[in-house]
Amino acid sequence: MEKVTGGVTAAKGFTAGGVHCGIRKSRSKRDLALIFSEVPAEAAAVYTTNLVKGAPLLVTKAHLADGKAQACVVNSGNANTCNANGTLIAEKTCALVGAALGIPAEDVVVASTGVIGQPMTMEPFERGVPAVARDLSKDGSDRAAEAIMTTDTVKKEVAVSFTLGGKTVTLGGIAKGSGMIHPNMATMLVFLTTDCAISAPMLQKALSTDVQSSFNMVSVDGDTSTNDMVVILANGLAGNEPITEEGEAFSLFMQALNSVTVALCKALAADGEGATKFLECAVTGARSLADAKKAAKAVICSSLVKAAMFGSDANWGRVLCAIGYSGAETDVTKIDVAFRSAKGSITVCEMGASVDFSEETAKEILSEKEITIAVTMHDGDASSVAWGSDLTYDYVRINGDYRT
């Protein structure tokens, strides 16, 4: 597995672009992205479980019923959610893309992010779709990644290449997400592309399996978005023997997919709204994978733990508290807790009880920008990892005036 450049356009046959079309007030910010495969691709997706869903998700789900797609169009600045004309706008946008690219509108994935419940018109799309179609290029991943950002402070893109049956296969992607991140299926908006030859059913199986240990293990603020979606397109141009069943080739593809999704997960968590620190909770020794996941996610989601990490406060009792209400089956009198960073490691709890440790050393360790909360449960051999960020004053400031 080798990390390569190019993001969503790293794989053969994919181009992308991003322009400002007028949805955002600031003309300096791109707000419309387009990803295009030169040939029809197998496609799969996962969507938010929130009962309130953006119209683009419903349109995309219908378009992907046949497991095929060739383009993804995404706007930022307005989530196209809870709008009376939302479905019409999403469908018309797909039609505009289809006309601009010479492909069926039904082969277009449409997605949207931004403020919920704001009026929306077709005018910016009528102006922007032809422009972004002209902007498509092999080096356009960077512009597309920028165009899907909302409160994100950095672009998020990654790609890897690997060998499959003697053929070089590439898989890459871009993502956006900074707030309203607590997925239960996928996360924020993520677009993945690969030139691997793989059937739509196996692509769906790979994606649905992967999100359980990647995007579903990220949380910034505990809010599950109305527009969460992860989409993957596979155009087969790598020329490998098509993957149509489980086996060695499918396992290797899963490894590559997970390497990309985990990298994006970490980037999303590190860029949490107002965040100053990236947090990782690594749980080992759990009775089952389900218990490990519950414990890790509860720690990452705890507002009290997140606040303590912001203050570089080794308040390990909050970690134990979160595990206690997580629903994980465990003997809390066996749990060990340690904090780790580039400055070292310090054990703060053993067998569910306090131990002597230096508060000064702990503060130094917790003052780093990347922190691991290591939990050992001594119940079994299952493990899991979850990712998040600290809770800061700026999170309240950003969301207090997000719309106005």
Residue that has been written with the tokens 């004309």 in this structure: 85
Distance CA 222, CA 183 (A): 8
Pairing of strands 278-286, 370-376: parallel
Which amino acids are annotated catalytic?
A: 187
Partners of 218 in beta bridges: 387
Name the residue type at position 317: G
Q: Which residues contact 266 (CB under 8 A, 6 or more apart)?
A: 278, 280, 387
Q: What are the Cα distances from residue 236, in Å, to 2, 69, 224, 320, 367?
A: 19, 13, 33, 48, 46
Distance CA 398, CA 190 (A): 23
Q: Which residues contact 191 (CB under 8 A, 6 or more apart)?
A: 8, 35, 72, 74, 111, 144, 173, 174, 175, 230, 231, 232
Rounded to 5°, angle at Cα 189 from 310 and 254: 95
Task: Please name which of 101, 172, 131 lies closest in space to residue 32, comparing C-alpha atoms.
Answer: 131
- E strand spans, 187-299: 189-194, 218-219, 229-234, 278-286
- DSSP for 1-39, please give it: -EEES-GGG-STTEEEEEE--SSSS-TTS--EEEEEEEE
Structure-block tokens of residue 296: 């890790």
Instruction: Provide φ and ψ at 44, rounded to 5°.
Output: -150, 160
Task: Please name which of 218, 361, 321, 189 lies closest in space to residue 278, comparing C-alpha atoms.
Answer: 218
